[in-house]
Amino acid sequence: MVVIPTYNEAANIGELVTRVRTSQPDIDILIVDDNSPDGTGRLADAFSNSKIQVLHRSKKTGLGPAYLAGFRWGIDNGYEHFVEMDADGSHQPEELDRLLAASQNSDLVLGTRWMEGGLVLNWPKSRRFISQFGTRYAAFCLGLPFRDLTSGYRILSRQLVSAILNSNIQTLGYGFQIEIVRLAAQQNLTITEVPITFIERVAGSSKMTGKIVLEAFWMTTWWGFKRMVFRR
């Protein structure tokens, strides 16, 4: 199941769903809408069917809680693999084949921008710096070898999702993606990286804010401190 959190993505969601269905006709989609003022949820309801479900939440509380709600729904409905994908078109459904192939032998497949074969298009230097510095800093703090800890294009096994739902997830924004990798490593689960092409959105506005960046920075620093001082 592909889990797609949405907030004000009416300009993008229809095309994205069409591309996912064209690329992977057998895969199911769950759109998790946080009561978007632009009517994204109502638009999603209009094209929902047995393969496309919509989960409505009452308000926007962050990327992490939206994914957790989608994961609970998926666990309750018997899904074995969970795809994370942004709603803005930055992740290419046509590349999902390679991630799905890797997921057959991995509990977490990271769609990685910053490795050989990976590509980022239409990003300013400032965004590239924040992303690359952030993932390198997190990798250093957590003692992890992976090259894109903040990527939002990934596949999680049911075992990992169950561990996430049974843990005390602390982050709300993009730090949630770092926390998932940290948890998977602590659980000694198999993690694989696959190169992806990331293309900056062409419609709508980014949800990235300074507050989200600071949350990820401070939580990563705290986790690194605990790892180095308390060995946990």
Using the predicted structure, report yes or no on whether residue 232 has a pLDDT greater than 70.
no
Q: Which is more confidently placed, 228 or 176?
A: 176
Average pLDDT, integer, range 75-92: 97
Cβ–Cβ contacts within 10 Å for residue 15, how many?
A: 11
pLDDT(230) > 90: no
- Evaluate if residue 97 carries a pLDDT over 90: yes
Question: How far from 211 is each of 49, 63, 175, 223, 227, CA to CA, in Å?
Answer: 37, 13, 11, 18, 24
Mean pLDDT of the chain: 94
For residues 220-227, average pLDDT? 91
**Is the pLDDT higher at 188 or at 226?**
188
pLDDT (tens digit, 9 = 90+) per residue, 127-151? 899 899 999 999 999 999 999 999 9
Which residue is it, tokens 């309801």?
Answer: 45
Q: What is the value of pTM for the model shown?
A: 0.94
The pair of three-digit structure tokens given for residue 117, joined into one six-digit string: 């074969």
Q: Residue 181 pLDDT more than 90?
A: yes
